[in-house]
Amino acid sequence: MDVAAQVTILATAMKTNQPDTRLGPEVVPEGAFFFPVESFRAPMDLGFLLLPRFTLLAFSAALDPLRIANQLAQKPLYRWTVFSENGEAVSSSSGMDVSVHGSLDTLPKDLRLIVCSGNQGLEAANETTVAHIRKHVRFGGKTGGICTGAATLARAGLLQDRTFTLHWENQPGFVESFPDLLPSARRFEIDGDLWTCGGGAAATEMMLSVIQRDFGRDFAVVVSDMCLNGGDLEPRTAQRSSLARALSTRNARLVQVVQAMYHNIEDPVTFDDLSEMTGLSRRQIERQFRQYLGGTPMTVYRNIRLDRARALVIETDMTIAEISAACGFNSTGVFSRHYRDRFGSAPSVHQNNRQKTE
């Protein structure tokens, strides 16, 4: 649908005093399987705002359960409009360009707007877009975010005292930029009129939760089966695998040591502290780290801190000195040397590359 057609829809709606929030077409494809929905009401209208370098997987994972719901019911249970900041196609993080139905200038106030972004989500939206979203909520609109979409909502001042989440990879940079906001570790959160998820499969799970709320568990299970989601509607809380699973061990004391490392990045604990809190001797800790993690405890600990540092380099505008201090390094020179050894380039190189893509 071109811009002229969208304007015609809006103009007609204004004349009849019946606002039409549907700028995109109704999608009710035919399928081999049918599941009748008797309690039909007016379709729910959603909007997806695609920001530059958005995650295609997260967007499609959120959109397709809605399409499948319509297909199963053979009714437009859900309608959606895809927006960009300027109405032009948007390039995803995988380099695929996705066309849209319109720009934010055509955004109806009674539509739920879900912000879709990817890496560098903190800078993905321009200031005009942030103001648009803030105004949308002020006049009664609802919002959500998938993958890193919550970062744009935070910039708009919409997450204070709310429960929300975003992808775990981007949470360290988010917390540094918004120290008063604490994202959830859960895969998705529905806090009243605010929907957020960590992206990927969590976007499907969030939409299945909405479908279950709207049309019941039996219908949602069939939608889940069509997504090959296994029909399990119980929320899988954590975004990441458990640390024990990641380490391929059930050694509780080893897991405790590594957890202590993750929880003490800015102010690293000493080897003696680790020994005391676990009751393991230094020799026992060293032996278990070499056996299960293939390195010394201090090397593993330094790499954990360096991984956090790289996230801050990519996700934030913090200086190298600020990142160095936030990750427990007393010297920027030492930090830069270890960073280069681990990632092949100095932190300033990664920082400059990020700035060139903005």
Question: Which is more confident, 325 or 39?
Answer: 325
For residue 299, the Cα-to-chain-centroid distance in whole angstroms is: 30
pLDDT for 120 equals: 85
Residue 213 banded pLDDT, cuts 50, 70, 90: very high
Domain contains 231: no
Does the pLDDT at position 155 exceed 70? yes
Q: Do residues 254 and 150 share a domain?
A: no
Domain count, the chain: 2
Binned at pLDDT 50, 70 and 90, residue 2 comes out as very low
Residue 49 shares a structural domain with residue 121 = yes
**CA dist., res. 181 & res. 183, Å (int):** 6
76-134 pLDDT, tens per residue? 999 999 999 999 999 999 999 999 999 998 888 888 999 999 988 999 999 999 999 99
Confidence of residue 56 (pLDDT cuts 50, 70, 90): very high
* The pLDDT of residue 110: 83
196 and 108 in a common domain: yes
Please tell me whether residues 250 and 220 are part of one structural domain: no
Does residue 305 lie in a domain region?
Answer: yes
If 0-12 CB within 10 Å is exposed, 13-18 middle and 19+ buried, where does residue 286 land?
middle
The 10 Å Cβ neighbour count of residue 265 is 17
Tell me the C-alpha to C-alpha distance, in Å, between residue 13 and each of 142, 207, 319.
21, 29, 51
What is the rounded average pLDDT of the residues 318-347? Answer: 93
Q: Which helix (H) or strand (E) holds 321?
A: helix 320-326
Residues 248 and 171 in one domain: no
The rounded distance, in Å, linking the Cα atoms of 278 and 257 is 7
Domain membership of residue 316 (yes or no) is: yes
- Side chain identity, residue 69: A
CA 109 to chain CA centroid, nearest Å = 24
Q: Are 328 and 267 in contact (CB under 8 A)?
A: yes
Torsion over CA of 196, 200, 201 and 204, rounded to 10 degrees? Answer: 50
Q: Provide the CATH number for the domain around residue 329.
A: 1.10.10.60
Helix-then-strand count for the chain, H and E: 15, 9
Model confidence at 354: pLDDT above 50: yes
Specify whether 89 is located in the same domain as 147: yes
Q: Is 314 exposed, middle or buried (0-12, 13-18, 19+ CB in 10 A)?
A: middle
Q: Give the residue numbers spanning the domain of 12.
A: 3-226
Separation CA 73–CA 216 (nearest Å): 13
H or E element in which residue 116 lies: strand 112-117
221, 268: one domain: no
**SS3 call for 143:** strand
Q: CA–CA separation, 257 vs 285, rounded Å?
A: 8
- Extract the tokens encoding 286: 């060293």
97-98/90-91 β-pairing:
antiparallel
pTM: 0.78
Return the pLDDT at 278: 82
- 258 exposure class (CB count in 10 Å sphere: 0-12, 13-18, 19+): buried
135 and 282 fall within a common domain: no
What does the pLDDT average to over 122-151? 95
